[in-house]
Amino acid sequence: MNKRTIFALVGLAMVTLVAVQACGSHKSSGSTATTASRPFYLGSTPFFTTATAFPDWRFENLDDRDLLSVHVDDFLGIPWNQFQNSSTLPSAWVTQWTTLANNARATGKTLYVALSPLGNRTTLAPNIDNGGARTENWAPADTAGCYRFSSDANAQNYKLAYINYAKYIIDLTQPAFFSPAIEMNMQFARCAPADKAAYIAWYSDVHNAIKAAYPQLVVFPTFQLEYLYGTAEPAASCGSGVSAAACFALHLPEALSIPGDRLALSSYPLPWKFSAEYNFSYPTDTYATIQNATARKIWISETGWATVKILQSYQHGASGSCGAVLIPASMANDSELEAYMTWLLGEAQTRRFEAVIWWLNRDYLDAAVADTCPCSDSSDTCLLTDTFYAAAGDYGESLMRVFGNMGLRHYDGSARSALNIWRQTLARPRRE
């Protein structure tokens, strides 16, 4: 998950809002009919957030998964200089990571750890200094905010630092699966061709170094599916007159040319409901196309579906206003989530995925409160929305709201109706 992803998804909804009137309900083409076994892991993250803690890891409801996704991304920053020089790491940072690793390993679950060298998918991840202070946007970047992989004289030093960082985290967490880059094709869409090519080469060296040190570890980057289709934002487009399907056909071979033991995808497909190309629904031939193109096992590294309507803006005291509906309740609801989950798990069975990871275990927004405007009480939900609005305005609030109600459980911990679908699949024994 990345805030730039959300900005892109929200932007798509804003510019195509008129299409809402033409949308129909998705009819599931997949099935989770009773089967003796399943070939894939079912996982979710321990991610949670509050007005005072981002992230606020919650290791709960562990019986509802056999894979734990420790999706740390760039959240905790990287002590770049210390890993480059092999010097003492900041103690507070070490404590954060050690606590997280110990808690994750204590679950006894198979672990998948996902990191990113990039902040906002374009520039180097935040730097952590000797005292534990965090600095954003510290590395040389162009006017688009893209790190200059192709021209910065220190790019090779930062590559060595990142390899050392990855090895440190692998030793600490002992995962079965590891991603050294998350949604790496978002950088491809936003940054200059020279920096894209240099990033691919930089990453390839990282991958090869990790595989050399840990030959049995399954290592792969993740890609953002809607960016492969070219629909997530204008910068991702393959050009005027090129359909989403044709764009995907162009981008898929590029993704497969990058070193990886698996093909892993993040996907948040609700914005397809604004697009006529697939009859106001998401494409259902994606994974058949991938399976025909590669022998790599398929991962859904993160996915979900919003279940509460989202407005274009919200009122916060004397600031802002309750704006028009951005994502309507006819799209963001439990029935649509269930239809998508049912189809996806059916595809996972048919295409023999290796893993499906639902992003949230538990909503971090109370749906009833999130569905009202203005939010005027002192609840955790109101405090959290106020915090994001104060920090980053309407877009920052949209970031939080799009992801806030897609969990397997509601905010209070009670089961969402889709959890029954999930549990029925989980009850089948996993056999490769």
Output DSSP code: residue 311: E
Number of H helices, E strands in the chain: 13, 15
On whether the CB atoms of residues 266 and 223 are closer than 8 A, the answer is yes
Instruction: Kindly tell me if the per-residue pLDDT of 9 is higher than 70.
Output: no
Residues 11-52 pLDDT 10s: 444 433 333 333 334 444 444 444 589 999 999 999 999 988
Stretch (H or E) spanning 113: strand 110-115
Helix axes 286-293, 244-257, angle to 10 degrees: 40
Residues 226-278 pLDDT 10s: 999 999 999 999 999 999 999 999 999 999 999 999 999 999 999 999 999 99
pLDDT at 22: 35
On whether the CB atoms of residues 282 and 272 are closer than 8 A, the answer is yes
pLDDT at 432: 87
Burial code (b: 16+ CB inside 10 Å, e: under 16) for 38-51 equals bbbbbbbbbbbbee
Instruction: Kindly tell me if the per-residue pLDDT of 173 is higher than 80.
Output: yes
What's the whole-number mean pLDDT along residues 325-353?
97
Residue 380's identity, in one-letter code, is D
Mean pLDDT of the chain: 92
What's the whole-number mean pLDDT along residues 86-105?
98
User: For the chain, what are the domain ranges?
Assistant: 3-19+26-426
Q: Residue 399 — very low, low, confident or very high, per pLDDT cuts 50/70/90?
A: confident
Please state, in angstroms and as integers, the Cα–Cα distance from residue 428 to each residue in 38, 101, 145, 250, following that order: 6, 29, 46, 37
pLDDT at 398: 86
Report residue 109 CA to chain centroid gap: 20
CATH 3.20.20.80 fits 3-19+26-426, yes or no: yes
Decide: residue 161, CB within 10 A, 0-12 exposed, 13-18 middle, 19+ buried.
buried
